Structure formats: structure tokens, C-alpha cells
Structure 1
Amino acid sequence: MRFISVLVAAAALFGCSALPGDGPAAINITSQDVESSAEAGDFTVVVIDPVNIEAIRAYRPLAFANQFRGVGRGGSPTLLGVGDTLVVTIWEASPDGLFSSGDSGSSQIPSVVDENGFIFVPYAGRVRAAGLSIEGLRQSVQKKLVGKAVEPQVLISLKDKLSSTAVVVGDVMKPGVYPLPLRNTRLLDLVAQAGGAREATYETVVTLKRGNRAGTTRLEDLIEYPENNVYISPSDNILLSHRPRTFSAFGAVKSNELVPFRTKSVSMAEALATVGGLSDSRADANGVFLFRYEDAALVRQLRPELADKLAGKKTAPLVYKVGLRDPKGFFMTQHFEMRDKDILYIANHPTAELGKFLQIIAPLLSNYTVVQGITD
């Protein structure tokens, strides 16, 4: 039996570090390691507590809105341009006038601003339209008809402003090119005009391309955070994509897997339940970690001392840590919302390594006992 004692002691001292595992144990992630990694810029660790959980829940992700702040006019130009379709209505004081017809005493003339910027009006000829306002064009047409029509009165209506358009494509019901009205048009207005998303809003992302700038956000964030519902500018390109959300679970959980979101929101508690919860024999209840690229603005709010280091950055790698040995931890996991591409890792308890070692040497102990019995 002395042989077995020596074998166990030696293996315990030298063999456990080489045993296979699902990842680093919580005991290996010390405060010193965290600080040195944070100083090196690798990542930042935030322990979830009742104070910062409220800051996390109250944070408004506005990176999408900030991407387009001050870029683009947010509406269609008020001046006419090539491709605009108009209706020119002309009244005359005499029923025998050039444009008098029927009881209305007027004529409606559809017109399109041609490639040279002109429209054609009978008896007025070619009239410059591009670069003029609707009122400016009305006065110009009416002036040209003086002396040809009987006391002409002119009204010009804008039918479609095809000189200012935006493109909506992707997973929408009616993709196409949409003219922008003179009033300001927001992103959701144009998505609704295109029939809305084909899939659930929480599984759809919208990408807005404006010049050399581009931004992507969840379609539901345009509703949840109205600041993200930016104004559309001429020549904007909008792409809607069906992109289901997922999170990954690793470590001492009962099932290591990639898990799709099945509802609009999933809390950390629900995520843990989805993968079967913590492994009773291996998990460290105080070693629940969530890895995420978080908005730098939120990281600066949670860790003000990192403000200078994160200056100019949009995102930063962040590790949230929560302990479940304290009952408060369970309440906090209920209020912590998962996001797309989150990584949930449950660390092994230090004693789990000894359990693995005992499983490895159990056959050796059994064989040794049999040999000893035969020898005796």
C-alpha cells in the first residue's frame, strides 16, 4: 500500500497540471492576473453587483446613431432635380382659352424633368426646372404664358421626387428604389414603406451605407432607442439581413454548445438553464464568466479609470463575472440580458482536477489490488 500512497502523492503534485480540462479554473483567474491583463489591454473584468447591474441595464447603445451624427441632411433637397415628376395645372379666365377644357376651365399636364434639367409646357416651350423650387418654377411657367393664354394661373404639384432616392434591399417584403419626399424621412419610415422585414425584428439587422460610412444595428433597436432611428439622406443604401442571435456555452456546464435565441430577450439565468445548468461535479459556482465585446462608452462608465486607455475606441473586450454561491447572484443573472455572440464560460472547481486524476488511476489501483491478492 505504500506504493499506492507514493503514486497518488506524486501524481497529485506533478500530474494535475497536465490533466485535460474545459478551460481555466476560477482559481487561476486571480485579481493580479486580471489587473495585469487589463493593463496590457487584453481585457477588462467587471464583477456584477447590485450597483453596476443597474448601470448595465440602463445603458443605451447609441453607437449606430453616433456613426451618422452630423453626416447627411436627413431629407430630400427642396430644389427640383433631374427625374422629378410633376403635374402642371393651368387655368384661364376665358372658356375659350388654350388650356380651358370642360367645366373646370383648366388643363393638367404631366411633366418630367429631363436629363438637361428642363420640362416642356405647351405654348411656353422648354422651361428650366432643375435647381428651382416649386414656387420658382410656377412663376417661370406663368410668366412665359403671359400674352399667349388668357390671364393664366399656374399650379405645380410634385408627384415623385425621383432625383432624391434611397435603396432598400435584402430581407424586406418589397425591395426597391424609393423616392424621398420633401419632408424628413427616418429609417423606420423607409423600412415600413418597403413592407417591413420578412423575419422577426429581433432576428433582423439593418445596415445603413451613406457615402464612406456604414453602420449596423438590430432592427428592434430602432424602436427601443429612438435616437438610432436616424434621418435618411438621398442616395442612402439600406440592407436588411436575417441574422438569428446565438450564444456559446463552455466549461463546466452539462452541455457545451452553440445556442440560438428562441425569444426576443434571454437572461443569463435562462441561458444557464438552456444548457442544463452548472455541472454538479465540476463547476465552481463562483466562477461564472461572460465574455463580450462591449461598447467602450459603457466600459468607461463601469471602469472610469480606463477612460484614457479607451479614448477613441468604439468597443472593448470585457469579461463579466458573477458568483452563484451568494443568493444575490441568482437575482442578478435574472436581470442580466444576453446578447448576440456572447460566450458563457463556467470555470472548473479546483477539486475537479483531483476527481479527474482519481478516474485515471482507478484502473491502476484496481489492477494493483488484484495482483496483491494473487500474490498473497
Structure 2
Amino acid sequence: MLIGWLARSVGLLVLLFLAACSGMPGPGPQALEISRLAAEENVSSAPLPYVLVPLDPLSVSLSNHYQPLGFQTEFRDAFGGSRAMTVGVGDRLTVNIWEPSVDGVFATSEKKQTSLTATVDEEGKIYIPYAGRVQAGGHHVEALRRAIEEALRGKAVEPQVQVLLEENASNKVVMLGDLAQPGQYAVPLNGLRLTEAIARAGGTKAPVFETVVTVARGRNRGTIRLDQVASLSGDNIWLAPNDTVIVQHQPRAFSAFGAVQQTGLHPFHAEKLSLAEALAQVKGLRDDRADAGGIFLFRFEALALADHYGKHRRHAGRTGEDVTPVVYRLDFSRPDAMFLAQKFMMKDKDVVYVANHPTAELGKFLSSIVSPMLGSARTVAALGD
């Protein structure tokens, strides 16, 4: 009789638990809760705080192949390739002067040409005999050549001038950080791209996919992963004189939470990591409480990529930058789920969350409360007999 009463009491407790389980705290949201707002999007005008995107062949392809330019417009458009080089303080120049007559001030009986070496002084000037101090700083090489010719006009016999930039001390970039040979490097007349500058500095100490590059130009700063620079030509920018390039070793990592075997922060062990490999790295899902239809990946994506997801984009919240929160959902009950997980590529700072199955809380309740009660009831009944 006691057992029957206890069983009825347990049944009542279970009903009460099921009625109140949605309000109980847990280790994270359930799949139904994450998807609820998306299901109500047609009946509500309030914008969603994120974009919910089911993983399918189209969304996997869009995510894997979309590569936004990492550097801002001012880094990509301000300079480009060969250009006139500006002379500056400290530059060493060779000035060749020709005269057609041996009676000229620079010509001799042996040759009609004189070579002069000059270094731009702290006031940006160089000294040329008979012409005096000529302003060189701030001028392009060709403009300086014409200025010297003009200064010698009437003093030399039909002078012809050539100016060669021998040591480019003022047009340099500074290379710092995790490089084999950090230091100052001159910007040649034909220009200097970011990858060329890193190569001149001996290359990076860490693998390319674990390296981040920051370019500081005046008040502007741009940061990008070096493997993106190597794969996307638009991010292999032309450097400008006085740029500072900082190379840092920053291994990529993702976070895992919820019903997985190993929660926490996990590094990328290879250049490329798929969602399937990431789940294997955390030792898979918890069989006792994981919801096979509730594997989620949280990521900030570019607004342009979110636009490709169609109607989801208009409900996305903005972060103040050109990115928006995106939640990808993988349903392992689909026959093609494992193939999708193998193709979907992880990115740095991704967050993987596996939701609890709705029955998981009930299972914990039964094992922690009901089973001990039934055991105690059987013991009391046995003593009564």
C-alpha cells in the first residue's frame, strides 16, 4: 500500500515537474528556445537579435566561400605600385652634372661630367656648388632634378642634371613582432606589398594560419590574419612610407559549451578545421542529454554575407560594426548532417553549443529524486514484512 501511495506521489511530482521544467535553470538554452523567435518572425514586427540559419548545402557553401576584405578602404586605395618617390631628411643622393663645353664649371678636359654625393640635411636641403643650398625634402626626384638645373642656369654652361636616390632613409617601414629579422626596411620605387615586407624581414616565426598582422598608418589601424592576406589579393596591400607593421602569434581557437564531453576553449590543430572535426576534438556529444537536432554555432558574420541568407537578414541585430550575430543550426537527425558537418569550416572565436534534449532534465530528476524515494519505500516495506 505504501508503494502504491508513493508511486502516485511520484507521478504527481513528475506532472508538476513537466509543467514547471521550462522555468527551471539549466546549463544553457534548449534548441526549442533558440528557434522560438525565428518561428514567430512572421507574427512579430520586433527584430531578432540574431540571424538563425539552418545548415544546408547552400548556407555551407556561402559561409565557406565568402571572404570579406579585411583592410579598410584607406589602406587599399591610398597607394599602389610604382609611384614618384619623395625625398626626405637623411636620404643620400648622387647628383650627376654634364656640360657640353670643356670651359664649363663642372666639365674638365678629361670629361664633361661631375658626380656629387649629397645627404639631405635636417632642414631638407642639399648643397650644390655654384647653386647653393637647394630644397630637396618634400620633392620628388624629378622635381629636384629640375630645381637643380634651374639653380645652375646662368652659372653653368647648359647644364644637364641627373639625380639618383642612393639610400632611401626617409621612405621606410618599420617591421615589428614575431619576425625572424624585425627592423626598418626601405620602400623601393616600384612599391612594397605587405607580404613582400614580411618576406624581407625573414618571414614569420609561427605558422601563417596562426599569425595576425596589424598595419598602423597615421591614426588608422587595420588588423587581419596573415592566411587571409595570402589567399585574398585585395588584402595584400601596398605599404606606404612610415607605416608600422606588427606581426603577432595568435593561435586560432573555438569554444564549446553544453552537452559535449569536453567544454572549454580548444585550439585549432591544423590550418583548416571542420565542424565535424571540432566536435570530434571535444570528444563528441553527451549521449545522456544531447539534443541531436540542437547543434548550434555562434559567429559574427559580415552584413554582406547575412544579406545572402535572404529573409533572415532583415531580422538581424546590428553590433555597431559591419557584422551581425549569426547562429547556424545543424540537425543530426538529417541523413546528410554528417556530410554538412564535414564541409562546414570553423573560424577563429567560433562558439559551438549543443543543447540539452527536453527529456534530459526529467531524466536527472528521476535519477536524483525519484529513484532514492522508491528505494527508501522498498526498504520500509521490507521491514514491515
With over 3 angstroms needed to count, the CA separation of the structure-2 counterparts of 1:364 and 1:166, relative to structure 1, is same
2:13 and 2:115 map into 1 onto residues whose CA distance is 97
* 1:216 Cα deviation after fit: 1.4
Given residue 67 of structure 2, which amino acid in structure 1 is its aligned partner?
A: R
Give runs of aligned pairs for residues 206-355 of structure 1, distance below 5 A.
206-304=213-311, 306-307=313-314, 313-355=321-363
* 1:136 Cα deviation after fit: 3.5
1:373 matches 2:382: yes
State whether residues 205 and 218 of structure 1, in contact with CA within 8 Å, keep that contact through their aligned partners in structure 2.
yes
1:23 match: 28
Given residue 377 of structure 2, which amino acid in structure 1 is its aligned partner?
A: Y
**TM-score (structure 1 length as normaliser):** 0.87
Give runs of aligned pairs for residues 46-65 of structure 1, distance below 5 A.
46-65=53-72
The C-alpha deviation readout for 1:131-178, integer Å capped at 9, x for no partner, is 433234334445656787787654321123333333222222222333
The C-alpha deviation readout for 1:34-78, integer Å capped at 9, x for no partner, is 6569944421110011222222222122142546354x3346653
1:211 and 1:235 map into 2 onto residues whose CA distance is 8
1:358 matches 2:366: yes
Secondary structure at 1:265's aligned position in 2?
coil
The C-alpha deviation readout for 1:295-346, integer Å capped at 9, x for no partner, is 1111111135635967884111110001111221111111111111111011
Secondary structure at 1:15's aligned position in 2?
helix
1:168 matches 2:175: yes
The C-alpha deviation readout for 1:174-233, integer Å capped at 9, x for no partner, is 223333223332222222222222211111111122333322110110111111112222
Secondary structure at 2:189's aligned position in 1?
coil
Query: More displaced, 244-253 or 364-373?
Result: 364-373
Unaligned regions of 5+ residues in structure 1, if any?
Answer: none
2:317 and 2:238 map into 1 onto residues whose CA distance is 29
**TM-score (structure 2 length as normaliser):** 0.85
2:309 and 2:222 map into 1 onto residues whose CA distance is 25
State whether residues 77 and 164 of structure 1, in contact with CA within 8 Å, keep that contact through their aligned partners in structure 2.
no
Superposition CA RMSD, Å: 3.2
State whether residues 50 and 315 of structure 2, in contact with CA within 8 Å, keep that contact through their aligned partners in structure 1.
no
Query: More displaced, 347-356 or 309-318?
Result: 309-318
* 1:90 Cα deviation after fit: 4.3
2:120 and 2:226 map into 1 onto residues whose CA distance is 36
Secondary structure at 2:355's aligned position in 1?
strand
* 1:80 Cα deviation after fit: 2.5
2:66 and 2:376 map into 1 onto residues whose CA distance is 61
State whether residues 47 and 317 of structure 2, in contact with CA within 8 Å, keep that contact through their aligned partners in structure 1.
no
Given residue 12 of structure 2, which amino acid in structure 1 is its aligned partner?
A: A
Secondary structure at 2:294's aligned position in 1?
strand
2:192 and 2:360 map into 1 onto residues whose CA distance is 59
1:13 matches 2:21: no
Query: More displaced, 355-364 or 328-337?
Result: 355-364
1:119 matches 2:126: yes
With over 3 angstroms needed to count, the CA separation of the structure-2 counterparts of 1:34 and 1:197, relative to structure 1, is farther
1:273 and 1:104 map into 2 onto residues whose CA distance is 79
With over 3 angstroms needed to count, the CA separation of the structure-2 counterparts of 1:15 and 1:67, relative to structure 1, is farther
* 1:251 Cα deviation after fit: 1.1
State whether residues 65 and 227 of structure 1, in contact with CA within 8 Å, keep that contact through their aligned partners in structure 2.
no
The C-alpha deviation readout for 1:331-375, integer Å capped at 9, x for no partner, is 111111111111101111122222211220222321221121011
* Number of residue pairs aligned between Structure 1 and Structure 2: 375
Secondary structure at 2:12's aligned position in 1?
helix
With over 3 angstroms needed to count, the CA separation of the structure-2 counterparts of 1:87 and 1:23, relative to structure 1, is same
State whether residues 244 and 261 of structure 1, in contact with CA within 8 Å, keep that contact through their aligned partners in structure 2.
yes
Given residue 375 of structure 1, which amino acid in structure 2 is its aligned partner?
A: G
2:51 and 2:74 map into 1 onto residues whose CA distance is 25
2:286 and 2:74 map into 1 onto residues whose CA distance is 43
The C-alpha deviation readout for 1:72-118, integer Å capped at 9, x for no partner, is 334665343333221223467799997689x9886543322222221
2:126 and 2:141 map into 1 onto residues whose CA distance is 13
State whether residues 47 and 321 of structure 1, in contact with CA within 8 Å, keep that contact through their aligned partners in structure 2.
yes
State whether residues 84 and 160 of structure 1, in contact with CA within 8 Å, keep that contact through their aligned partners in structure 2.
yes
With over 3 angstroms needed to count, the CA separation of the structure-2 counterparts of 1:373 and 1:236, relative to structure 1, is same
Given residue 165 of structure 1, which amino acid in structure 2 is its aligned partner?
A: K
